[in-house]
Amino acid sequence: MTAPSPLRRTRLRPADLLRLGMIGPRTRRLRTALSALGISLGIAAVIAVTGISASNQAHLLARLDQLGSNLITVAPGKDQNQQTVPLPPTAEKMLANIAPVQQVTATGATKAEVYRNDLVPKEQTGSITVLATRLNLLDVLHATLRSGRWLDGASENLPVTVLGDQAAQRLGVTTPGERVWLGGQWYAVTGILTPNELAPELATAALVGWPQATAHLGADGTAATVYLRSHPERVPDVQAVAGATANPAAPGKVAVSRPSDLLTARNETKGALTGLVLSLAAVALLVGGVGIANTMVVGVMERRGEIGLRRALGARGGQIAAQFLLEAVLMGFIGGIGGLVTGSLTVYGYALVQGWPASIPLYTIATGPAVSVTVAALAGIYPALRAARASPTDALRSA
């Protein structure tokens, strides 16, 4: 008679462990769904809070940039005798070569005067200036027309002008198509600007195409004012080098605008934290974790017979613990995915209603399910250890 071979310990394969872990969620669907819902609400709150905050922030930053938080003006400065030092002819092109600069435009001075007609005395100019202008002026300044149309590639070579709103009022021009006496000849008014807070000097100006002003109105081709749109994060850097770039021979004789209060407001807006709301979302996440822990504890108590039978058949404590811990992780994963979808739909829906650009930080999308799984795993540790320590005889006796 041969001796029986000694029993060997076996390990559960991952597939078997997964099947065991699915027993609880499959057999107790309602309780599993309610527990996952707790985690789902926490993750959805985190996604919604961060997404709505990011969308609101993107909207505010875009509005501040549109208003001019990243706008810098460069103009001729004065020397020690308070005499204006003109910018070099290359200033505009040199400023455009600064890496963070996104857009550049300019206006230039002319020697022309503008009147309502050729009968108005020359001294009655109405303090209206005639400026040469680049075609992209409206784009850079985010300016608009009250009526009419802006200059284009054809009209910048013709005797036509666009008037600022105050200039049109002083000249008595109410609609495009009327004519004014400008530089000793008739010019057709093609458009009238709306007031622009970024460049208030345009309100009292008559704007003429750069080639037309150079050829017929005495403009020397140099810029009187250069407008720069910089990358919002690099405004101070551009401001620091703008003077030396525009006029390398006399950088101290260049007037560079200071960053406006809008830039300060932009930085404060970007740096604002949603700490309070994120705390509320964390509380919701904690509540979901407590719900999973409670579900797992109750599950261990209800399934003592199953635990005792498995232990009696040779299942080790670690295998029992792994089963219950996996159940908790699965509930956390299901809740995390559900929260991610719910939170994302909330953000996109709210942004659509508000007319904001929808923005959900990538780190939130990546960490949301990971956090839910982590919380569920932590919540399931105690119930899993309790199940692992259960004695087979005591478990079967109480079943």
Cβ pair 161, 207 in contact under 8 A: yes
Mean pLDDT of the region 45-74: 73
With CA atoms as reference, report the closest residue to 70 among 269, 265, 264, 263.
Answer: 263
pLDDT in tens, 21-40: 676 677 677 777 777 787 77
Q: Which two tokens stand for residue 280?
A: 């509320």
One DSSP character per residue, 359-379 reads: ---HHHHHHHHHHHHHHHHHH
Q: For residue 146, which phi and psi values (nearest 5 degrees)?
A: -75, -35
Q: Identify the residue whose tokens are 């622009």.
A: 196
- Does the pLDDT value for residue 183 go beyond 80? yes
Task: List beta partners, residue 161.
Answer: 189
Q: Does the global pTM surpass 0.85? A: no
- What percent of the chain stands above pLDDT 90? 34
Mean pLDDT of the region 175-186: 94
Cβ pair 223, 108 in contact under 8 A: yes
- Does the pLDDT value for residue 260 go beyond 70? no
Q: For residue 163, which phi and psi values (nearest 5 degrees)?
A: -100, 145
With CA atoms as reference, report the closest residue to 133 among 217, 60, 67.
Answer: 217
Burial (CB count <10 Å: 0-12, 13-18, 19+), residue 142: middle
Range ranked top by mean pLDDT from 57-66, 194-203, 211-220: 211-220
Q: Which residue has the higher pLDDT, 310 or 144?
A: 144
Q: Where are the domains of the chain?
A: 14-63+270-398, 70-260
Q: In this predicted structure, which of 259-273, 289-303, 339-353, 358-372 has the lowest mean pLDDT?
A: 259-273
- Does the pLDDT value for residue 394 go beyond 70? no
CA distances from 145 to 84, 139, 170, 199, 369 (A): 32, 12, 17, 14, 50
Mean pLDDT of the region 370-386: 79
pLDDT tier at 274, thresholds 50, 70, 90: low
- Does the pLDDT value for residue 262 go beyond 60? no
Q: How far from chain centre, in Å, is Cα 281?
A: 22
pLDDT tier at 49, thresholds 50, 70, 90: confident
Give the mean pLDDT of the chain: 81
